[in-house]
Amino acid sequence: MKKANMIVDKDWQISEIDKRIYGSFIEHLGRAVYTGIYQPDHPTADKNGFRQDVAQLVRDLQVPIIRYPGGNFVSNFYWEDSVGPVTERPKRLELAWRSLETNEVGLNEFTKWARSVDSDVMMAINLGTRGIEAACNLLEYCNHPSGTKYSDLRIAHGVKQPHNIKTWCLGNEMDGPWQTGHKTAQEYGRLAEETAKAMKQIDPTIELVSCGSSSAQMPTFPEWEANTLDCTYDFVDYISLHQYFGNRFEDTDNFLAQSMEMEHFIKTVIATCDYVQAKKRSKKVMKLSFDEWNVWFHSNEADDDIMKNHPWQKAPALLEDIYTFEDALLVGLMLITFIKHADRLKMACMAQLVNVIAPIMTQTDGSAWKQTIYYPYLHASKYGRGIALQSVLSSPKHDTMDFTDVTDIDSVVVYQEQQQEVTIFAVNRNLSEDIQLECDLRSFEGYHLIEHIVLEHPDLKAVNSAMIQQVAPKLSHESILEQGKLTTLLHKASWNVIRLGK
């Protein structure tokens, strides 16, 4: 049997994990809002029209922050359309997804819903078709207490207390030619710089995210980061990263190695930020916000057809990827990668949360259900809070089409000091062999095994549905902790969460 070894010590600390790395995203896209979180005629809807079956699944995930309202959607969004009496709100052509936006759910309804599921809002502004003025008015509407045009308008709309939204994205994917109002790095850098300065005049307590590249494959990456940060460095707090993966060539070994590409992306962005920091002789260390990430490819063809041949529908079924078991493994690997970079990565948003490339799906005339990817996200969010530890792992390796030296096992360890708990997250991405992992945990004296949760399935392509949850976690009984040494069997193709307590 193949073996791997790991040494973990409570003093080898990477950083405290910012809980916001378990954030998510709701865009006015497809059925995320309408018939997703909001469906007044659903039997579980509350008096505001929000589905409580969905809200409960979101609460269970403990999502600390939700990005809103887009995405590509935001680059032609007129926020004023989404506030005030619902019957007076205009319907709009939504350019990013060629859909109809009715504005039945807007800013105030969404922030109220977010509070009800214990999440903060990460608000994105339109730097595509609009600019400084609209951004300032929106911020005044949201965060200024009262006594000015837009704060009083909010109060007139029945929202007395300011929303106090702390985190703001300066546009979305402005490097992408598909973006309405796409810009060059120079154009975006200057606009973002001036918008940031004005917004911080209104509310100096806010934190701002400058747009990074839409993916590591963009031809302008990483010059985009270097050039835009040259303008925005002193005025923003984060730079964004976005990345989606897919198993387009039916090569699962290669697919599961893509978290290495994600890691390389993170390291390159850090290096670019540090280059700008050095150039500017700045003391400020730029933080990272990986505010769109997931697997996304299953629905591509169907989406092209809807947008091209059936445009301007309200809530069309767009981006409804049905996730396989192997997708859940890559999601687990991506989460492990985030935790390893907890020192610089302070926010991340799984894109998205409901119906649109999402862990939660809804039937309009039925229930809400959990996709395969729901589970690694749930486990990381629940048990991945605390201090990320720098473990030393030695694992068998393999090569794939695009990657060399891919470790069979990838793992990260989180120490919850206060609760005196330790969680080991580990994926065995070897598709044919179980691996025995021996873990030296001697610095955790007096700890015992709480549980070993495993997500596995004989069919890599297994999916869940409203009827069947065939990919769901279960308990493994193949871990033993004796005298500070954990011996565990990590089954081929499996996601593992091993929890220890004192």
- Contact between 82 and 89 under an 8 Å Cβ cutoff? The reply is yes
Helices marked H in 280-347: 300-309, 325-340
- Look up 173 and say whether it is catalytic: yes
Q: 80, 101, 109, 173: which is the annotated catalytic residue?
A: 173
Amino acid at the residue 230: D
CA distance 421 to 414: 8
Angle at CA of residue 446, ends 443 and 451, nearest 5°: 100
160: tokens are 């007395």
136: tokens are 């300032």
Q: What is the DSSP letter of 203?
A: -
In the bound state with ligand AHR, the residue whose beta carbon lies nearer, of 357 and 481, is 357
Angle at CA of residue 45, ends 43 and 47, nearest 5°: 125
Report helix angle 374-383 to 325-340, nearest 10: 30
Residues that bind ligand AHR (CB under 6 A): 27, 70-72, 172-173, 214, 292, 351-352
- For residue 392, the cross-strand partners are 7
In the bound state with ligand AHR, the residue whose beta carbon lies nearer, of 173 and 408, is 173
CA atoms within 13 A on the CB side of 358: 31
For residue 381, the minimal CB distance to ligand AHR (Å) is 19
In the bound state with ligand AHR, the residue whose beta carbon lies nearer, of 36 and 71, is 71
- Contact between 208 and 196 under an 8 Å Cβ cutoff? The reply is yes
Q: 27, 140, 193, 292: which is the annotated catalytic residue?
A: 292
Q: Which 3 state secondary structure label does DSSP give 296?
A: coil
In the bound state with ligand AHR, the residue whose beta carbon lies nearer, of 170 and 351, is 351
In the bound state with ligand AHR, the residue whose beta carbon lies nearer, of 214 and 258, is 214
In the bound state with ligand AHR, the residue whose beta carbon lies nearer, of 71 and 332, is 71
In the bound state with ligand AHR, the residue whose beta carbon lies nearer, of 155 and 302, is 302
DSSP string, 432-450: S--EEEEEE-TTSTT-EEE
Based on the number of CB atoms within 10 Å of its own CB, is 146 exposed (0-12), middle (13-18) or buried (19 or more)? exposed
410: tokens are 């990838």
CA distance 86 to 103: 8
**φ and ψ at residue 452, rounded to 5 degrees:** -120, 110
For ligand AHR, the nearest residue by Cβ is 71
CA distance 431 to 428: 8
| Other C-beta atoms lying within 10 Å of the C-beta of residue 484 | 15
For residue 351, the minimal CB distance to ligand AHR (Å) is 4
- Look up 292 and say whether it is catalytic: yes
Amino acid at the residue 361: M
In the bound state with ligand AHR, the residue whose beta carbon lies nearer, of 80 and 173, is 173
CA distance 195 to 235: 9
Strand ranges (DSSP E) for 211-363?
238-245, 287-295, 313-314, 345-350, 360-362
Q: Active-site residue numbers?
A: 173, 292
